[in-house]
Structure 1
Amino acid sequence: MLDALPLSSFQVWSVLMIAATVILDGLDNQMLGLAAPSLIKEWGMGRQVLGTVFALGFVGMAIGTLASGWLSDRFGRRNALIFGVGLFGIATFATGFSQSLVQIAAFKMLAGIGLGGVPGTATAMIAEFTPVRWRSVAVTFGVVCVSIGGIIGGVAASLILPGLGWRWLFYIGGAITLLFGMVLYRFLPESPRFLAERPERQHELSAMLRRIGHPTPDRIQLAQAAGQAPAAFVPMRTLVQTPLLRDSVALSVAMLSGMFMIYLMFNWAPTLLVSLDFTLPTASLGLTAFNLGGTIGAMLASFAIIRFGSRVPLIAMALVGTAACATLALLPIAGGRNESALLAGLCALGLFASAAQSAMFAVGAHAFPTAVRGRGLGLMGAFGRLGAILSAFSGSWLIGVGNFGFFGVLSILMLVNAIGFFAVRGHVPRVSPADARVTRRETYA
């Protein structure tokens, strides 16, 4: 039904609300990385110890990713999303009161459980709110909001850290997240496609279709729905059986390598740049440049996917990302040199490599059917968290070998990323001109 209808203002506002949760996810997710140089200086801790804290956060995120996928398929996308936002909002705010590294680690792990489930659940929900001709753009926009959150965080950190200190970064971020969680609880609707598979909730679907603009929502229903039993719960093992096995493996491998790259940048890039004698504001702006490139690139990729499908654009972006990493590995930046070239390279890395990871969620939302979409995206996300955990433990060592080792390893992983994209069978097809020209008049006729 939604594929045949024009995109309504109700759907746009719903997608924007969901996307805002991903902005907060990106903002809160990067706070510890932005605060890391200040923590190292104030508490005199080693980078290896901080790497363990990052890893515990990623363990929490892996737990949250899988749990949220199950919750969203079983109890609804809305409930899983609000739970995740509330949990990481509380943990982020509480981090500002920490008096020891143990407390920071505990709150980071708790925040990770909430943070881990938000991108996958939000992706599934956005995909289920939008017609097919806009789906790749909407899903990519939702995921790229992680980078938008990072941009906001990088700018905020450059303003807050020098004057107020690292605690206020967590106070402000946590408070904003909790306030928005209340807005979600009051206004966020459930996914229409989730409701469509539950005959006992057809009255909610009819009311939603009326708001979207369907001319006769009561008649559609749901003649078939009367007397139908609720849809059977599809087991998780479906994801590792034919015909979904190949896509599950390929997308998981691509996600692992891509998230290693992204979280190595989020958590360790500022510390790397400070160790190479760049100032703290420059280190924050370096991460901002990476996120800015990722935001622009992901949106351009979403339109490329509409025009060409997802296979060629994503493989090409991963390969160009490989080249960008190799360039940054060879760039002489020790001693704070070549700052402009460094920022341009980080922006290019975001424009291609980071953007490809954001657009990958559109592929997952297409490849996995509704009954297992939440858990399929959760499986991808869990492998992504594994990549993040590996990046947390290896980050301190990679910083020790300078930008050559740091970005050299990333160039290899981006090549693996491209191979994963190549292996995927369920890529998003190009949208035909006929699909793109569907109008309200044609639909109603």
Structure 2
Amino acid sequence: MAGYATGVASPRKGAAGAYRLGVVLLVALTVVLDGLDNQMLGLAAPALLHEWGLERGVLGGIFALGFVGMALGTLAAGQIGDTRGRRIALLLGVAVFGLATLATGFASAVWQLALLKMLAGVGLGGVPGTAAAMIAEFSTARWRSLAVTFGVVCVSIGGILGGSAAAAILPALGWRWLFWCSGVLTLVVVLALIRLLPESPGFLARHPARRAELEQVLDRLGEMLPRAERQEVPPLGALLRGDLARSTLGLSLAMFSGMFLVYLMFNWAPTMLAAQGFALRDTSLGLTFYNIGGTTGALLAALAIMGLGSRVTLPALAGLAVLVCAFLAVAPLQAGNHNVLMMVGLGLLGLTGSAAQSAMFALGAHAFPLPLRARGMGVMGAAGRIGALVSAVAGSWLVAGRGGFFAALGGLLIVNLLSFLAVRGHIPPLGRGRAKDL
């Protein structure tokens, strides 16, 4: 257990393992909802453009405001997570984007869409990083990389659910029902989490005033209590000192390019496919195939990291994704004749490029030490939100042409690959320095 697991395992090993798994699944559920709510506007975009007669540039501006909110939310969640607790940061984030998503279904003007997208972004921004930090602290060293990657890949699972729902709901009920269904589901889950989700033991161990709460959590986990001492919270500037600086900068650049790629796909791929003549149902299914590939690839990447380490696995995935983008950019894939081939190509892009971005969160949870973990993930995440913001503007230019769209993605993946190579604090293969608590 991160930061304090030094004792003998409890004889209730099975119960402790079940409790640990249950908490990881609860946290992962928040990321599923993040992925679901995050992609609603992108999925609804083709219908909105038609119904409201919007220009793509207007929609790009709305996406950009959402990313401004996400950048603010990411930094705020990191600060709250390290000072007030991971649990409260996670619950606040999910509640905010749930309410904003529900309200978006009632929007009747562009300014309302923009305001609600920005508010939703504040909630959405901090969830993946906070969830990754929390999952890392509830996982054993052996399974930490797989658990964190599973948690983050739930963004893609949420996207799969959203894409599947959109394919059924959009033609029958319209875009508003997407937001209503997603928002209600999110708020119901928040009510359940308030009762069920515990605070991170890594956070509790640094606050002697919450000793009794820590005792309860550790008893469920079968861990011994740490010594009762308050640890000083290091300043944010420590992320840019010594050996940690290279990892912080490398991960931030990797996240910038990675989230540029991911959100260009989330928000603009359906519109790009529609511009290429694909039917409304197929524009949603294209994003679904991408997310299925991303989910599968991220879990395979986590297993590969266990055997090969992240220094080999992540650059290799980014390199393979460059080749997939080159194929999608130049191959003659016409709507109607090549629908299946396009879906396969998008699935392969998810299997490689999207998977590398999900597995990157496990690298961040490893590279940043416990007292700085939430803020380190927050800085890394904020860089990603800036990349996502740029993608909102760039997408409105790139969406008209398939070649330019995928050529841009290929360029981003080259930057991604080089950034992974620059990181200093990579995850070693299992058994080679992995038992050490980080």
Tell me the TM-score range normalised by the shorter chain: over 0.9
Aligned to 1:126: 135
Aligned to 1:418: 417
Deviation at 1:359, TM superposition (A): 0.2
* Aligned residue runs from structure 1 range 209-224, under 5 A: 209-214=218-223, 217=224, 220-222=225-227
196-205 or 383-392, which deviates more? 196-205
Aligned to 1:267: 267
Deviation at 1:209, TM superposition (A): 1.5
Alpha-carbon displacement from aligned partner over 1:191-219 (angstroms, at most 9, x marks no partner): 111111222222222211111124xx4xx
1:301 and 2:301 are equivalent in the alignment: yes
Give the letter for the 2:366 counterpart. Answer: H
SS at match of 1:244: helix
Q: Which runs of 4+ in 1 moved over 3 A?
A: 1-7, 334-337, 433-436
Give the letter for the 2:343 counterpart. Answer: L
Residue 64 of structure 1, aligned match among 50, 70, 73: 73
Give the letter for the 2:144 counterpart. Answer: R
* Structure 1 contact 276–336 (Cα < 8 Å) conserved: no
TM value normalised by structure 1? 0.93
Deviation at 1:120, TM superposition (A): 0.5
Aligned counterparts of 2:337 and 2:406: Cα–Cα separation in 1? 17
Deviation at 1:65, TM superposition (A): 0.3
Give the letter for the 1:413 counterpart. Answer: L
Gaps of 5+ in 1: 437-445
SS at match of 1:48: helix
SS at match of 1:8: helix
Paired residues, number? 426
Aligned counterparts of 2:317 and 2:110: Cα–Cα separation in 1? 39
Aligned to 1:53: 62
Aligned counterparts of 1:47 and 1:267: Cα–Cα separation in 2? 11
Q: 1:248 to 1:301 in 2, by over 3 A?
A: same
* Structure 1 contact 206–221 (Cα < 8 Å) conserved: no
Aligned to 2:196: 187
Aligned counterparts of 2:226 and 2:240: Cα–Cα separation in 1? 33
Aligned counterparts of 1:130 and 1:14: Cα–Cα separation in 2? 10
Q: 1:38 to 1:65 in 2, by over 3 A?
A: same
Aligned to 2:152: 143
Residue 117 of structure 1, aligned match among 122, 126, 129: 126
Deviation at 1:336, TM superposition (A): 4.3
* Structure 1 contact 2–130 (Cα < 8 Å) conserved: no
1:73 and 2:82 are equivalent in the alignment: yes
Alpha-carbon displacement from aligned partner over 1:398-440 (angstroms, at most 9, x marks no partner): 012x11000001101101100000111101111119979xxxx
Aligned to 1:443: none
88-97 or 233-242, which deviates more? 233-242
Aligned to 1:315: 315
* Aligned residue runs from structure 1 range 400-415, under 5 A: 400=400, 402-415=401-414
232-241 or 168-177, which deviates more? 232-241
* Aligned residue runs from structure 1 range 37-436, under 5 A: 37-214=46-223, 217=224, 220-222=225-227, 225=228, 228=229, 230-400=230-400, 402-432=401-431
Q: What RMSD over aligned residues (CA atoms) do the two structures have, in Å? A: 1.5
Give the letter for the 1:341 counterpart. Answer: L
Deviation at 1:311, TM superposition (A): 0.8
Deviation at 1:331, TM superposition (A): 1.8
* Structure 2 contact 243–424 (Cα < 8 Å) conserved: no
Aligned counterparts of 1:60 and 1:433: Cα–Cα separation in 2? 40
Q: 1:434 to 1:66 in 2, by over 3 A?
A: closer
Q: 1:309 to 1:433 in 2, by over 3 A?
A: closer
Alpha-carbon displacement from aligned partner over 1:308-347 (angstroms, at most 9, x marks no partner): 1111010100000111111100122245441111101000
* Structure 2 contact 104–179 (Cα < 8 Å) conserved: yes
SS at match of 2:26: helix
Alpha-carbon displacement from aligned partner over 1:92-129 (angstroms, at most 9, x marks no partner): 00000000011000000000000001000000000011
TM value normalised by structure 2? 0.95
Give the letter for the 2:311 counterpart. Answer: R
Alpha-carbon displacement from aligned partner over 1:26-69 (angstroms, at most 9, x marks no partner): 00000000000000000001101100000000000000000100
SS at match of 1:396: helix
Alpha-carbon displacement from aligned partner over 1:1-47 (angstroms, at most 9, x marks no partner): 54874661111000000000000000000000000000000000110
SS at match of 2:107: coil
Aligned counterparts of 2:46 and 2:336: Cα–Cα separation in 1? 16
230-239 or 371-380, which deviates more? 230-239
Aligned counterparts of 1:232 and 1:194: Cα–Cα separation in 2? 12
Give the letter for the 1:35 counterpart. Answer: A
SS at match of 1:200: helix
Aligned counterparts of 2:147 and 2:315: Cα–Cα separation in 1? 21
Deviation at 1:244, TM superposition (A): 1.0
Gaps of 5+ in 2: none
* Structure 1 contact 326–411 (Cα < 8 Å) conserved: yes
